[in-house]
A and B are shown apart, each in its own frame.
Chain A
Amino acid sequence: MSYSNGTTKSRGSFIVLVFLSALWLLPTVGLFITSLRAKGEAQTSGWWDVLLNPFSQDWDLSSYTTVLTENKLATSFISSLAVTIPATILPLLFAAYAAFGFTFLTFRGREFFFSVIIGLLVVPLQGALVPVLKMFISFTDKTGIEISGQYAAAWFVHSAFAMPLAIYILRNYMMTIPNTLIEAARMDGASNFTIFWRLVLPISVPALASFAIFQFLWVWNDYLIAFVFVGNERPVLTYTLLAMLGQYGEGWQAVAAGSFISLSVPLLVFFTLQRYFIRGLTAGAVK
């Protein structure tokens, strides 16, 4: 066993942690309670009053129904899913192929190209945004096919920007696959194509899952790309929420309910897939 854990339980540490974790939870709990309050009460008293006096409170789910219908949050929810799901799944195969190439094949420029990918891990996406937008627009001018303002624009951009991290995570994982396994398959006459599909891809499923969770959360929570490439025709949740923040008439409880709807999905993903998520993190996420 390593450093202390389990052997010396410290009461002091426990008490400090209880205090700190209460502090950490407080903002989110406040949001949740506010979202469940009636409009009049949420406007006039702090949510913590409820904790002191839970039964005098008018609990009210109407904020949720209101934002889902009136503020079109239900539509935004669908838009968010429509952006996020393809943007999570489409990069997987591309990245897996490239990671295989970088891990198991030798070729000229391998070190160079991989260094570029490492470098691109940190490049701010703002740098590429405007020219990509212009590219989409001139593509539409030439072909008549709309891209900007469609979900597809966000899928392309998110997929491309996911590549460095995806390749990095997948390659780190593939490097743990014993080389003898690959060599044995080669001896049996398997082509690289077969080795990739039959051997490496199935083994890499945990790493693919880790990356997919990351990408899902990243895209779901993204505002900038959704704002620039999908915009107000198909507003995603972050877009609608930000717009609601600007309109105070909605009342505190409405924005809270909207926000809670938006973060319910990441929370669900987090609590069900925590193990893969943390594995992905420790595999070296730098985004």
Chain B
Amino acid sequence: MKVPEKYYDEIFVFDGQWGQPSACGLKIVDKKENIIVVVTELYQDNPGTSVTSAGFNLAKQICEKKGLDFSKIIYLECTPDTNSVLSFYNEQYFEVTLNKHQQPQYRKVLKEELEKMIL
């Protein structure tokens, strides 16, 4: 279940839950009015915490390392299509509203909207 490289521009290594070394795919798209950050779950190539479990902590680490303003990013989580025969490894995007003190809020982003956001 290798994640195709089309989903990311770089592999971002981060401290996962309890400090576990973890990795995700990362794509940052500068749209002037805001910055779109897309984190992609790497499954077998992520040795630690999933992007969903890492949530706020991952977004914060990306902003710190990439010099981004947390309040101005649109944060998307991607579960990529891994060409698995199992249907639950299909491509999906969610916009995530993150807050240190609250549960994240997820909104599914459909393909047409995604294309407008990141193309």
The answer to whether A and B come from one shared complex is no
Residues of B in contact with A (beta carbons under 8 Å apart): none
